[in-house]
Amino acid sequence: MHRSKYAIASVDEVEWSTGTELDSRMALTASLGCQETDVDAYRLSGDDSISLPTAPENVCIPIDGTGELTADVSLTVPHRGIARIPAGVECQLHSDEPGSWFVISASTESPPGAQLAVVDTEACEFTVPVTSDILTARLTDPLGCTGMKTNARLLKPGDRIPYHTEGQQEELFVPLHGPGAMRIGGETHQVSTGTVVRVAPEMPRAAINDGDEDALWVMVGAPPTGGSTDWDPGAEIVEWPGPE
């Protein structure tokens, strides 16, 4: 695997230890080769609370179960929900049931008075954007993200994101539900719920639904270049390398 260009990590492959709050966090940044973001996996055992990093902006993605984020206010993060914690906000994640989470972080400055935000992807409006024919929910503005772009994409059976490179953005792909694979640099990798894939800007990539049911993905890009609903300036669609 070209680790400087892309990498894949799964919570199922993390060797968790037990006993303290620190033991419930596994840093994935180095193994993924991230340059613009930090990625951590968290495991909650049930009726459990964890303090999240304060300095960066955090996007929190539950892999299974639900949870509650508490700062000045408390917000429930549903199954298949996505939450954003503004930079500089002290926040705790609590869950009454066992579950795993990905927390993606980016350095940024949040405006004064920025609040926690949560979206439920099952209640989002998915529309076809001008950049592809894949149903997309643009989440950067609803979440209030300033350090990264965040989108959810609904892939029907046989769908694939356009095979493309980015201009400046490092991209992270997180499958939330359904069958999926990634085509990266001409190689195909099967991925599943509980996996995060990091791809460098210059590496061609596409998410694929190679199954027979709908698949839901979260895709995060940093730095947040261009408009919140636009592709990264310099991104290019490239020829599909084949075979399927």
Average pLDDT over residues 1-12: 80
Return mean pLDDT, the chain: 92
Do 6-121 and 122-225 show the same overall fold?
A: yes
Which pair of tokens denotes residue 93? 């994640």
- Annotation: CATH topology of 6-121: Jelly Rolls (2.60.120)
- pLDDT above 90 (res 47): no
CB 48 within 8 A of CB 100: no
pTM of the shown model = 0.94
pLDDT at residue 17 in the model: 53
CA dihedral over 89, 201, 81, 136, signed as positive or negative: positive
Give per-residue pLDDT as tens, 170-205.
Answer: 999 999 999 999 999 999 999 999 999 999 999 999
pLDDT at residue 30 in the model: 93
pLDDT at residue 76 in the model: 97
- Classified as helix, coil or strand, 56 is coil
- pLDDT above 60 (res 2): no
- What is the C-alpha to C-alpha distance for residues 4 and 244, in angstroms, rounded to an integer? 25
Closest of 228, 90, 239 to residue 162, by C-alpha? 239
- Quickly tell me which residue has 């791809």 as its tokens: 199
- pLDDT above 90 (res 48): no
pLDDT category of residue 24 using cuts at 50, 70 and 90: confident
pLDDT category of residue 19 using cuts at 50, 70 and 90: very low
pLDDT category of residue 15 using cuts at 50, 70 and 90: low
Angle at 209 between CA 203 and CA 212, to 5 degrees: 165
Q: Is the N-terminal amide bond of 62 cis, ω within 30° of 0? A: no
pLDDT category of residue 242 using cuts at 50, 70 and 90: confident
- pLDDT above 50 (res 8): yes
Edge-to-edge strand order for the sheet containing 99-106?
Answer: 25-27, 38-44, 99-106, 57-62, 81-85, 117-120
In the chain, where are the structural domains located?
6-121, 122-225
Least confident of 45-49, 131-135, 148-152, 223-227: 45-49
Give per-residue pLDDT as tens, 96-120.
Answer: 998 999 999 999 998 888 999 999 9
pLDDT at residue 130 in the model: 87
- Annotation: CATH topology of 122-225: Jelly Rolls (2.60.120)
- What is the C-alpha to C-alpha distance for residues 127 and 117, in angstroms, rounded to an integer? 21
CB 220 within 8 A of CB 172: yes
pLDDT at residue 13 in the model: 80
pLDDT at residue 1 in the model: 41
Structure letter (DSSP) for residue 228: T
Average pLDDT over residues 230-236: 93
Average pLDDT over residues 6-26: 73
Cα Dmax for the chain: 52
- pLDDT above 60 (res 21): no
